[in-house]
Amino acid sequence: MQAVILAAGMGKRLGELTKGNTKCMVRVNGVSLIDRVLTQLSAINLSRIIIVIGYQGKKLQEYLGDSYQGIPLQYIENPIYDKTNNIYSLSLAKKELQEDDTLLIESDLILDDTLFPMLVNNPYPNLALVAKYETWMDGTMVCIDEANRIVNFVSKQAFKYSEVDSYYKTVNVYKFSREFSSSQYVPFLEAYTKALGNNEYYEQVLRVVTLLDNCPLKALPLDRQKWYEIDDVQDLDIAETIFSDEDKQLPLYQKRYGGYWRFPDLLDFCYLVNPYFPPQKLKEELKANFDVLLSEYPSGMRINSLLISKYFHIKKEYAVVGNGAAELIKSLMRYLDGKIGVVFPTFEEYPNRYAEDRLVRYIPQNENFTYSASDLKDFFSDKSISTLLLINPDNPSGNFIPYDDLISLALWTEECGIRLVIDESFVDFSVGYEQNTLLRNEVLSRYPHLAVMKSISKSYGVPGLRLGVLASANHELIEWMKKDVAIWNINSFAEFYMQIFGKYENDYKHASRLFVEERDRFRKELSAISWLRVIPSQANYFLCEVLDKYSSKDLMRLLLMRYNIFIKDCSTKFGFEGKNYIRIAVRDKVDNDKLVESLKSL
């Protein structure tokens, strides 16, 4: 068996990285694509490796030499690489294709080490590696039947998003028998190029071949094996994350701060969203209005303040809407002055936006990090603070102060001349949440020194829309923040969501009840793991102490590497120094059970 590698392309979309080198010389985690694939091929008993070169081909040839780990290298030059597509590069190797069984490989791929042995050891002589369609994939798709026969090649022009559930992406790695190349592929290749020219793709020939009765080419679907096609700098960034070493992969994921939809196999127990909302009908309504929302400007601050006030049934003059709570937190922390009382460990977006020497920290002195309104009064009574910041339920502890106690805290801070900021982003996950919220006109008007922050991403399950609200009867604060944020800080999709939410409020109430039931069940399952101590929570996550077996960092790394599960290591947070705590989001039953089984297997 031999291998043919197509490496003539210019790789223009990689910009500076291919300015003086062919695409296969691009490095992923310090190793060039060509070195990686040749090292993998050297583990197979190959007679030779043929590389079709073009752009910067001489430089590649000088770099590799005449052999690689004992396997002869043969070069075929495509002198018109800038005027042709890969069908011409492959046609230059048509004689060699007919001389031996062949692995055909494109040079812009990074592949799991198991893929070539999987192809070679499969007894079927003619195979195309394929992977179930995912959103990052581009190029040729195929449809296959129950016997893995390729029943259709789907071109870009014929691609339909409504049919993606039936699509597989060609990995651009093939196994051709000598007989198949000689009797079918090469003759059709010659006829195709003669009829349509050289500015085509070699997979178009395969599309024609699959129309034959008893086509000898079958698909070999991947079973979660890793691979990636690198066409641009974002592809390179993702590939470096997927194929990084164990000790480097975790920091690479952590630095992304979201966007995990680019890694469809990753199960995210780190970021916190409602698993039971929005309902399908709401999503369909958004989809039905996609065209107009994409092409039209959103409204300005006045209209969006009206919409968010309707959303939460509060006065419009009390509310400012934000591009996520993060935008409002940044603005609020710029507005505040003096010293701020903060409970630690906490959601660090707040303290990170303020001068460290003006933070007055309260750390609960118990293993569950619990505290009450009375504890806060006792601690801060002799402290000189101008603002008291409280997250309720707290993040990451899940500590919850009931409504009546919050009102007593509002009275106390009013008497002391202290501004009270309460972030209730997770309050809708608490039992009886409708009675626990402070987003009420009577509360806001009675306590004008109170400001209530709420992230809509978390409890309503729409983090991609980026929505948050800050509410207060303090006219000066609200007007300052409205001027501080951009007039068009909300996009049309988020605006439309606020507009239609009222139709789905009963669905939201039902989702909240489902969530509380699943959280209780999930807590019992987690508590059965002997080396985890699960702390009670009224939020959509559990703070857990890792008692033995692993450090919190090791546990996070193991879950990611072995099971593609991402949890939050809290050991780096202020207040957890030297302690092994993790935070686990509550997802739906299927996902929660996957995590529990993974923890048990450890």
Long-range contacts of 311-317 (CB under 8 A, 24+ apart): 311/469, 311/498, 311/501, 311/502, 312/439, 312/454, 312/469, 312/471, 313/439, 313/441, 314/439, 314/440, 314/441, 314/444, 314/471, 315/441, 315/444, 317/475, 317/478
In the chain, where are the structural domains located? 2-239, 248-275+508-601, 280-506
CATH architecture of 280-506: 3-Layer(aba) Sandwich (3.40)
User: pLDDT of 465-490, one tens digit each?
Assistant: 999 999 999 999 999 999 999 988 99
Q: Which residues of the chain have pLDDT under 50?
A: none
Number of neighbouring beta carbons within 10 Å of residue 21: 18
Cα separation, 241 vs 235, in Å, equals 10
Cα separation, 207 vs 44, in Å, equals 29
Cis, bond preceding 396 (omega within 30 deg of 0)? yes
Backbone angles phi, psi at 280, to 5 degrees: -60, -40
Domains 2-239 and 280-506 share a fold: no
* pLDDT on residue 383: 96
CATH architecture of 248-275+508-601: Alpha-Beta Complex (3.90)
The alpha carbon of residue 272 and the mean position of all alpha carbons in its chain are separated, in whole angstroms, by 13
Cα separation, 441 vs 455, in Å, equals 19
- The pTM for the full model equals 0.83
* pLDDT on residue 578: 81
- Which CATH superfamily groups domain 2-239? Spore Coat Polysaccharide Biosynthesis Protein SpsA; Chain A (3.90.550.10)
Tokens of 589: 């039953």
* pLDDT on residue 261: 67
